[in-house]
């Protein structure tokens, strides 16, 4: 293997994390969310590793088609639904479940002959104000689906939580209560919780949970890491040292010269930068592992490289392994140091990084 920057995916960690979901929500079915190339982990190998899930959720038709092309026969939900007769035809051909969150999508189904009904998930907007029927439209949408021969009965009823990653925000409990009120007495399974919802809000677990982030071993909460939740990080972003150099006290390092050596320093230059998905905003001082030992980022992240202060690791030499995130370097911490969330980091590993699924 010649690739220097690698995203190494540990499928045993994926399976372990699915077990954690099962243990946390033992009464729920698990719809594993593997949109966006399984949050950067590779959609097909991730789905194969998570074959023990009860179904998969993807955002786009092409993502679902990739799963069928790989021979996966699970239920696959298109989270954004379909918008044209041709997409509806493809959804039938591939036996996808479809989300209906918009009157246009209802009309599309109503225009169909009853041939083979679709498994429909009806989305209710309880305050996220992104997708879903507003509270005043929900009953009518349910009635239309119940009367629609192209929709299999009963439909599954869905809502999405806007702020479950803040365990103290009362809005989540209000969203769950509003949802239950709106669908009270309506037959069909319920689905509310993403990762944060299913960990933090037992009342949100319901029939189907929809974990994404926690399957990858990452905490959805603003503080802490997946490890404290019993999860194992599935992705390691690894690279190698490509140069080692000595600088004098006072010398400046990298673009803009924003980092200045406070003592005679040894720097390891490692391949990997924002062109690989390691964010440019990552602050100097952020931890990485060099040959398994802690060191810190020095200066700005470049497109293809970073500088690491290895003054206290005198044996470091060219070719040694550098871990940018993974076990021992929580991606949650890197995200905080870069002013973003771990979702963006793992999804944002770029095309030129070699994906090595083990
Ligand atoms: C992405 C997504 C999820 C998964 O969210 P996580 O926070 O990654 O667990 C669940 N439900 C819907 C509707 C989504 O779009």
- Compute the distance between CA of residue 126 and CA of residue 179 in angstroms, rounded to an integer: 6
φ/ψ of 184, rounded to 5, equals: -55, 130
62 CA to centre of own chain: 17
Please tell me if the CB atom of residue 33 comes closer than 6 angstroms to any atom of ligand 1: yes
φ/ψ of 173, rounded to 5, equals: -60, -40
Please tell me if the CB atom of residue 341 comes closer than 6 angstroms to any atom of ligand 1: no
Domain 11-219: CATH class, spelled out: alpha beta
Q: Residue 183 has which token pair? A: 């669908």
Quick one: which atom of ligand 1 is closest to the CA of 213?
8
Q: How far is the CA of 75 from the centre of ligand 1 (A)?
A: 17
The pLDDT assigned to 283 comes to 96
**Residue range(s) of every CATH 2.40.37.10 domain in the chain:** 235-357
Please tell me if the CB atom of residue 238 comes closer than 6 angstroms to any atom of ligand 1: no
Q: How far is the CA of 210 from the centre of ligand 1 (A)?
A: 6
φ/ψ of 201, rounded to 5, equals: -135, 90
Quick one: which atom of ligand 1 is closest to the CA of 211?
9
Beta-bridged to residue 120, according to DSSP, are 98
Quick one: which atom of ligand 1 is closest to the CA of 220?
7
pTM of the shown model: 0.97
Residue nearest to atom 6 of ligand 1 (CA): 212
Q: How far is the CA of 239 from the centre of ligand 1 (A)?
A: 30
Please tell me if the CB atom of residue 338 comes closer than 6 angstroms to any atom of ligand 1: no
Quick one: which atom of ligand 1 is closest to the CA of 210?
10
The pLDDT assigned to 242 comes to 98
φ/ψ of 11, rounded to 5, equals: -70, -25
Please tell me if the CB atom of residue 195 comes closer than 6 angstroms to any atom of ligand 1: yes
The pLDDT assigned to 1 comes to 54
Q: How far is the CA of 159 from the centre of ligand 1 (A)?
A: 11
The single residue listed with the structure tokens 């209000």 is 174
Range 16-20 contact pairs with CB under 8 angstroms and sequence separation of 24 or more: 16/217, 16/231, 16/232, 17/214, 17/215, 17/216, 17/217, 17/226, 17/231, 17/232, 17/234, 18/50, 18/52, 18/53, 18/215, 20/214, 20/229, 20/230, 20/231
Low-confidence spans in the chain with pLDDT less than 50: none
Radius of gyration (C-alpha) of the chain in whole angstroms:
23
3-class SS shares of the chain: helix, strand, coil, % to 5:
30, 25, 45
- Compute the distance between CA of residue 144 and CA of residue 4 in angstroms, rounded to an integer: 55
Q: How far is the CA of 112 from the centre of ligand 1 (A)?
A: 30
Domain covering 235-357 assigned CATH 2.40.37.10 in the classification:
yes
Q: How far is the CA of 78 from the centre of ligand 1 (A)?
A: 12
Given a contact cutoff of 8 angstroms between Cβ atoms, the answer to whether 15 and 27 are in contact is no
- Compute the distance between CA of residue 111 and CA of residue 83 in angstroms, rounded to an integer: 13
Q: Strand, coil or helix: what is 264?
A: coil
The pLDDT assigned to 324 comes to 98
The pLDDT assigned to 113 comes to 80
Per-residue CA distances from 15 to 46, 50, 74, 87, 309 (Å): 9, 6, 16, 32, 36
The pLDDT assigned to 115 comes to 72
Which of 76, 166, 167, 212 maximizes ligand 1 atoms within 8 Å of its Cβ, making it the mutation to test the pocket?
212
Quick one: which atom of ligand 1 is closest to the CA of 214?
9
Residues acting as catalytic residues: 35, 255
User: Where are the extended beta strands (E) located within 215-274?
Assistant: 235-247, 252-253, 259-260, 265-271
**Residue range(s) of every CATH 3.20.20.10 domain in the chain:** 11-219
Q: Per the omega criterion (within 30 degrees of 0), is the bond before 125 cis?
A: no
**Residues listed for the chain:** 358
């Amino acid at each position: 293997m010649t690739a220097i920057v690698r995203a190494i995916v540990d499928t045993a960690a994926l399976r372990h994390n699915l077990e954690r979901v099962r243990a946390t929500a033992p009464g729920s079915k698990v719809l594993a969310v593997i949109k966006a190339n399984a949050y950067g982990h590779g959609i097909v190998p991730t789905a194969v590793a998570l074959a023990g899930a009860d179904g998969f959720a993807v955002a786009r038709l092409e993502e679902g088609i990739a799963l069928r092309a790989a021979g996966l026969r699970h239920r696959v939900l298109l989270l954004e639904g379909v918008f044209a007769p041709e997409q509806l035809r493809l959804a039938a051909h591939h036996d996808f479940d479809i989300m209906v969150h918009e009157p246009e999508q209802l009309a599309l189904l109503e225009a169909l002959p009853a041939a083979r009904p679709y498994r429909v998930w009806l989305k209710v907007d309880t305050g996220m104000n992104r997708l879903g029927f507003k509270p005043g439209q929900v009953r009518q949408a349910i009635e239309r689906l119940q009367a629609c021969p192209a929709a299999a009965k009963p439909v599954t009823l869905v809502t999405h939580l806007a702020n479950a990653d803040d365990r103290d925000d009362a809005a989540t409990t209000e969203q769950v209560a509003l949802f239950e009120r709106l669908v009270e007495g309506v037959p069909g399974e319920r689905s509310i919780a993403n990762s944060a919802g299913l960990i933090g809000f037992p009342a949100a677990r319901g029939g189907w949970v929809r974990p994404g982030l926690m399957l990858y071993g990452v905490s959805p909460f603003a503080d802490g890491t997946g490890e404290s939740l019993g999860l194992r990080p599935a992705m390691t972003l690894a690279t190698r040292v490509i140069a080692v150099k000595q600088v004098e006290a006072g010398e400046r390092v990298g673009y803009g010269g924003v980092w200045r050596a406070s003592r005679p320093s040894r720097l390891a230059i490692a391949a990997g930068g924002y062109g690989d998905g390691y964010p440019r905003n990552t602050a100097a001082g952020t931890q990485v592992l060099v040959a398994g030992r802690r060191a810190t980022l020095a200066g700005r992240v470049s497109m293809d490289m970073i500088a690491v202060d290895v003054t206290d690791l005198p044996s470091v030499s060219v070719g040694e392994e550098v871990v940018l995130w993974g076990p021992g370097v929580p991606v949650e911490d890197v995200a905080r140091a870069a002013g973003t969330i771990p979702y963006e980091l793992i999804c944002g590993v770029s095309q030129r990084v070699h994906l090595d699924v083990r």
